[in-house]
Structure 1
Amino acid sequence: MVFKVYYQESIKEVPVREKTKTLFIEGESVREVRAKIGDRGFNVEFVQEVKGAFLEYEKQNEDFTVLEN
């Protein structure tokens, strides 16, 4: 499954919508995705499974890449 992760660059940053970044990562569950990126020091706001039409829409973005840890 593919998950979209909304995060801030640093765990010390307060979540601000304008500074929120996203990445896509493969995993079996939200827990597994959080474990995969746990050592990066991100302040994770939200993890959402992406599938179906939503995934197809995201794939149209030229910056779409899926991290595989």
Structure 2
Amino acid sequence: MIFKVYYQENIKEVAVREHTHTIYVEADSIREARFKIKDKPYNVEYVEPVTGAYYEYEKQNNPDFKVLELG
């Protein structure tokens, strides 16, 4: 399953919508997605599953759609 992770680039940065970035992570659960990026210096705001029509929309309409290959 693919998850969309909303985050701030600096772990000490307060969450502000205008500074929010997103990445896509493949994992079996939200918990696993968070675990896969725990070593990154990100302030994670929210993690949501991307499935069905939402997945197709993101894949077609988001030029930054790249699923991270994390171990």
| TM-score, reference length from structure 2 | 0.94
Moved over 2 A (4+): none
Uncovered stretches (5+) of structure 2, i.e. residues with no partner: none
1:3 aligns to what? 3
Q: Return the offset for 1:68.
A: 1.6
Quote the sequence identity (%).
62
> What root-mean-square deviation, in Å, do the aligned CA atoms of Structure 1 and Structure 2 show?
0.6
Which amino acid in the other structure matches residue 35 of structure 2? A
Displacement of 1:62 in angstroms is 2.1
Mapped to 1, the partners of 2:43 and 2:64 lie a distance apart of 21
Deviations 1:18-56 (A, max 9, x none): 000000010001111111100001000000000000000
After superposition, residues 1-69 of structure 1 pair within 5 angstroms as 1-60=1-60, 61-69=62-70
Count matched residues. 69
Q: Which runs of 5+ in 1 are unaligned?
A: none
